Structure 1
Amino acid sequence: MAVSGAKSVLHVPMTTEEEKANGAQSSRHTHVLRSQLASGQTTHNLHLGLKLFCLSKGDIEPVQKRKEIVENEPLVAEVKERWPDLFKEQQIEAEFARLTSVDLKKSFFSGLDRHLPRFLELFMAKSGKSAGLSRHLKCLDDDSSILRKRSVVLLGLPYFLKEDSSSAFKTVLATDDEATFTRGMKVGVLLVKDGEDIIATSVVLEEQVVLPDVEDIPLAIALLMGLLFALNIDYPKELRYTFEVFQKVLMNIGGGQCSSLVHGLRNRLLRKTM
């Protein structure tokens, strides 16, 4: 990036353990420095507690947009009304790359696929003690495609980590009252089923569908990660370890600073035998 007078702020959603370590107060958005994301061309704004990236003059507009999102903390509906393009798949990828210098889809799916066999081994070993894990693994009986395995691992991870995913990864029936579909969903992915078939997959923020008709579950979760970075939104506390795994293990962003639980899981994933 060319050095100029224009600068952009970067926020990475923080886990609860990191909040405690930094003495941060609980809020919708938390500002935090993440040196792991820097390429070496960064400075620190201590007043805001944010990472600054040096940008060229042509990047002033996204810088101003980012600054406004971070400082004003607008509702998602307000951001969507003002900058609707920010909620398009291509733009989500571009904004994520601008903030992190990381390819959103490539990092997410390559990391997921690298650990896929080992995740399934660990899930299988624990499935006897977890009905949720057992239920998800059973889905592989009829379909063991890479897409199904990805979905099973992503949706099964909260059960493995003993976290509550009910308000983040929500399944409803097509016959249910549509007005209740997103009720209670602050951050998550909504699945609409007709019988046993998933007929719609959507990304939800602040009880609003912001990305309807996403192609599949893994893509929806990857795009959700991109939106959380772009909109400066913290991970849901009830799934703090699940999202930490998504970011630090699968995407290898900030992986040098893991909670003890996630650090232990990463070590287990790297072992050839349990």
Structure 2
Amino acid sequence: MPFIAEFKNRCPALFSESQVNAEFTLITTVPLFSTFMSRLDHYSSQLLRVFKKKGGTARHDIDVIIAEMDMATEDTGIDAMTEMERLALGVYIVRHDGVDASGPPEDVAVVIEGCTVLRDLREVANGCAVLLGLIYCLSQGAAIHFRISSESVYGIGWEQALHLSAGPQKQTA
């Protein structure tokens, strides 16, 4: 059994959208959802402009990632379930057959170590916020070793994007 599944069985209250927000705020003094959404709004147009301007190898890599994301949205059935079981971290979206990508999802859920830890989220952005909040809370509050470390999340600018300067600081000798 993956460690996250065992942890979820011991502490089921942590695995709700409101509790993740409360725990994150308790640890960092920064509200998770409002800060994440405002930073997402602020940076998304800038990121799209950067992606469009890239050329060469970087542009090719971005196109490959986008093509894989498009292909993943069309993946259905048992293959999709197998892929989710292999995910270290992720957000998945379930849509009704025949509904295009712009339509509302039937379900948005968070997967950690192949275990669906939270379901019935309103939007994909909420799923991403919950995933990042869980990573931060679990890495700060419990010694959980994911297949990717929380340092990887920090490497993509999570702390800078959320301005977590008010959060707990590591002591150095």
**TM-score normalised per structure 2:** 0.69
Q: CA deviation at 1:179?
A: 4.0
The structure-2 alpha-carbon separation of the partners of 1:130 and 1:199, relative to structure 1 and needing over 3 Å to count, comes to: farther
Partner of 1:187: 89
- Aligned-pair identity in percent equals 29
Partner of 1:92: 20
Task: List runs of 5+ in structure 1 lacking aligned partners.
Answer: 1-73, 137-155, 160-164, 256-274
**1:111 partner SS:** helix
Partner of 1:213: 120
**In the comparison of the two structures, how many residue pairs are matched?**
151
RMSD: 3.4
Partner of 1:130: 59
Distance 1:79 1:177 in 2: 27
The structure-2 alpha-carbon separation of the partners of 1:218 and 1:251, relative to structure 1 and needing over 3 Å to count, comes to: same
| Structure 1: 4+ residue segments shifted above 4 A | 193-196
Amino acid at match of 1:219: N
Indicate conservation of the 8 Å contact 2:85/2:113, yes or no.
no
Please identify which structure carries the higher helix content: 2
Where does 1:76-225 land on structure 2 (aligned, <5 Å)? 76-126=4-54, 129-131=58-60, 133-134=62-63, 171=73, 173-177=75-79, 179-192=81-94, 194=97, 196-197=100-101, 199-225=106-132
Indicate conservation of the 8 Å contact 1:189/1:221, yes or no.
yes
**1:215 partner SS:** coil
Larger Rg: 1
Indicate conservation of the 8 Å contact 1:185/1:206, yes or no.
yes
Indicate conservation of the 8 Å contact 1:173/1:192, yes or no.
no
Please identify which structure carries the higher strand content: 1
